[in-house]
Structure 1
Amino acid sequence: MSIMEDKHNLGATSAQAQGVVGSNTLIDRFSALPNEVVLHIMSSTEVKDLIRLRCVSKKCKKLSLSVPSLNIDGSSSIYKKSKSKRLNLLNHLDRFLMQRKDCKIGRLRIAWSFNGANTSEEQFRIATWIITAVSCNIEYLELVFSIDNGSTFELPYDLLDCSTLKTLKVDLSSKTLRLPALAVPSNLQRLHLKEVIISEEVWKWISSLHLTELRLEHVNGIGSVTVEIPSLIKFHLEFVYYQNRISKLLISGAKLEDIDVRGPFNERGLDSLKIVASNLRRLKLLGYLMNQLSLGRFTFLEKAELFLSPTADDNGKLFEVFSSVSRTKVLHLDEKTIEVLRDGPVQLPLHDISCFRAYLVRLTDDIVPNIAHLLRGMPNLNTLFIATSPSLLYELFPYYNWFYRGRLVPYDEVKENAPGSGCNKSYWSSQNLACIDQLKEVRLELSNGTNELDLACYILENAKNLKKMVIIHTYHQSPAVRMINACNLSSCDARVLFYRRKKPTLMDLVGYQHGHNIGPRVLAQ
Structure 2
Amino acid sequence: MEHMNKSLATASSQAEGVCANYAVDRLTNVPREVANHILAFLCFKDLIRLGAVSKMGRVFSPSAPSLKFSAQRANRQKQYNLLNSIDRYMIHRGDDKIKHFCVDWRFSAGVSEEGFRMMSWILIAVRCNVEVLELRLFVPELNKLEPDGTVLELPSCVYCCESLRSLSIDTQTILKAPSGTCSNNLQYLKLTHVRTDDDFGKWISRSCIKELLLFEVKVGSFTVDSPSLESFIFDYKHYNRPCHLSISGEKLTTIRIEWGFYNTISDTTRSLNVFAPNLKYLKWIGSLLNYQNLGKFLCLEKAQIFLKHKGDDYDFENAYEVLRSLCSVKILLREVLVHAQLDEVTYLSMHIMSLSDDLVPAMISLLKGMPNLSTLYLKSYPSLQMDKPKACGFKSKYWKSQ
| TM-score when normalising by structure 1 | 0.61
Q: What is the match of residue 7 of structure 1? A: none
- Label 1:372 to 1:109 Cα distance change in 2 as closer, same or farther (>3 A): farther
Worse-matched range after superposition: 277-286 or 181-190: 181-190
Counterpart CA distance in 2 for 1:365 and 1:216 is 37
Match of 1:262 in 2: 258
What residue is the counterpart of 2:205 in the other structure? 207
CA drift at 1:163: 1.0
Residue 445 of structure 1 corresponds to which residue in structure 2?
none
Please report how far the alpha carbon of residue 275 of structure 1 lies from its aligned counterpart in structure 2 after TM superposition. Answer: 1.6
Instruction: Give 2:279's aligned residue.
Output: 280
Secondary structure at 1:300's aligned position in 2?
coil
Query: 1:105-184 residue pairs with structure 2 within 5 A?
Result: 105-117=98-110, 119-147=111-139, 148-149=143-144, 150-173=149-172, 175-179=173-177, 182=180, 184=182
- Secondary structure of the 1:197 match is coil
User: C-alpha displacement at 1:360, in angstroms?
Assistant: 4.8
Partner amino acid for 2:329?
Answer: T
For 2:396, the equivalent position in structure 1 comes to 427
Match of 2:232 among 230, 235, 239: 235
State the Cα distance separating 1:72 from its structure 2 match: 1.7
* Cα gap change, 1:370 to 1:28, in 2 (>3 Å): farther
Aligned residue identity for 1:208 = R
How many residues are paired up? 372
Give the AA of the match of 2:152. Answer: F
**Change beyond 3 A, Cα 1:113–1:291:** same
Q: Residues 181 and 271 (structure 1 numbering): CA distance in 2 closer, same or farther, change over 3 Å?
A: closer
Shift of residue 115, structure 1, vs aligned partner: 2.5
Alpha-carbon distance in 2 for matches of 1:246, 1:105: 41
> Compared with structure 1, are the counterparts of its residues 270 and 230 closer, same or farther at alpha carbon in structure 2 (3 Å cutoff)?
farther
Any conservation in 2 of the 1:185–1:205 contact (CA below 8 Å)? no
Q: How high is the TM-score relative to the length of structure 2?
A: 0.77
Once the two structures are TM-superposed, the CA of residue 186 in structure 1 deviates from its matched residue by: 3.1
Q: 1:218 matched to which residue of 2?
A: 216
SS in 1 for 2:84: helix
Give the aligned residue type for 1:254: E
Aligned pairs for 1:89-488 (under 5 A) are 89-117=82-110, 119-147=111-139, 148-149=143-144, 150-173=149-172, 175-179=173-177, 182=180, 184-221=182-219, 223-242=220-239, 245=241, 247-265=243-261, 271-310=270-309, 313-333=314-334, 337-338=335-336, 341=337, 344=338, 346=339, 348-360=340-352, 377-381=369-373, 427=396, 430-431=399-400
Deviation string for 1:390-414 (max 9, x for gaps)? 8899xxxxxxxxx99xxxxxxxxxx
SS of aligned partner of 1:299: coil
Distance in 2, matches of 1:65 and 1:387, equals 58
Q: Distance in 2 between matches of 1:93 and 1:271?
A: 45
2:159–2:178: 8 Å Cα contact kept in structure 1?
no
Alpha-carbon shift at residue 209 of structure 1 (Å)? 2.1
CA deviation profile, 1:21-47 (whole Å, cap 9, x unmatched): x98457859959887666445424432
Q: Residue deviations 1:462-509, cap 9 Å, x none? A: xxxxxxxxxxxxxxxxxxxxxxxxxxxxxxxxxxxxxxxxxxxxxxxx
Q: Specify the code of the residue in structure 1 equivalent to 2:125.
A: A
2:197–2:221 CA contact under 8 A, matched in 1:
no
- Deviation at residue 429 of structure 1 after TM alignment: 11
| Counterparts of 2:70 and 2:401, CA distance in 1 | 61
Q: Offset at 1:114?
A: 1.6
Q: What's the CA shift for 1:232?
A: 2.0
Contact 1:220 / 1:246 at 8 angstroms: preserved in 2?
no
What is the CA–CA distance in structure 2 between the aligned matches of 1:429 and 1:44, rounded to whole Å?
A: 65
2:189 is aligned with what amino acid? L
| In structure 1, C-alpha distance between the alignment counterparts of 2:393 and 2:130, rounded to whole Å | 61
CA deviations 1:126-183 (Å, max 9, x no partner) are 111111111221111111111242321111122122111122111221x111356656
Q: Does the CA contact (< 8 Å) of 1:113 and 1:146 recur in 2?
A: yes
Deviation at 1:294, TM superposition (A): 1.7
Instruction: Give distance in 1, aligned partners of 2:97 and 2:393.
Output: 65
**1:83 aligned to 2:83?**
no
Matched position secondary structure for 1:116: coil
SS at match of 1:91: helix
Contact between 2:198 and 2:221, CA under 8 Å: does it hold in 1?
Answer: no
Contact 1:270 1:291 (8 Å CA) reproduced: yes
Which consecutive residues of structure 1, in runs of 5 or more, have no partner in the other structure? 1-19, 394-402, 405-417, 434-525
Aligned-partner Cα distance in 2 for 1:62–1:369: 75
Code of the residue aligned with 2:299 in structure 1: it is F
Change (3 A) 1:289 1:70: farther
CA contact (8 A) 2:234 2:258 kept: yes
Q: Deviations over 1:251-298 (max 9, x none)?
A: 222222222222224665752222222112222222123311222121
Give the letter aligned to residue 72 of structure 1: F
Aligned-residue CA RMSD in angstroms? 3.9
* Counterpart in the other structure of 1:9: none
Paired residue type of 1:228: D
1:73-132 C-alpha deviation (Å, 9 max, x unpaired): 11x11x2xx222112211222222334322221121111112223x22211111111111
CA contact (8 A) 2:162 2:183 kept: no
Q: Retained in 2: the 8 A contact 1:357–1:384?
A: yes
Whose RCO is larger (CA < 8 A, sep 6+)?
A: 2
Q: Letter of the 1:49 partner, please give it.
A: D
Aligned partner of 2:186: which letter?
L
The 2-side partners of 1:39 and 1:423 are apart by 71
State the SS of the aligned residue for 1:155.
coil
How far apart, CA to CA, are the structure 2 residues paired with 1:280 and 1:200? 24
1:64 aligns with 2:61: yes
The equivalent residue for 2:45 is 48
Q: Is the 8 A contact 2:175 2:195 kept in 1?
A: yes
1:57 aligned partner, one-letter code: S
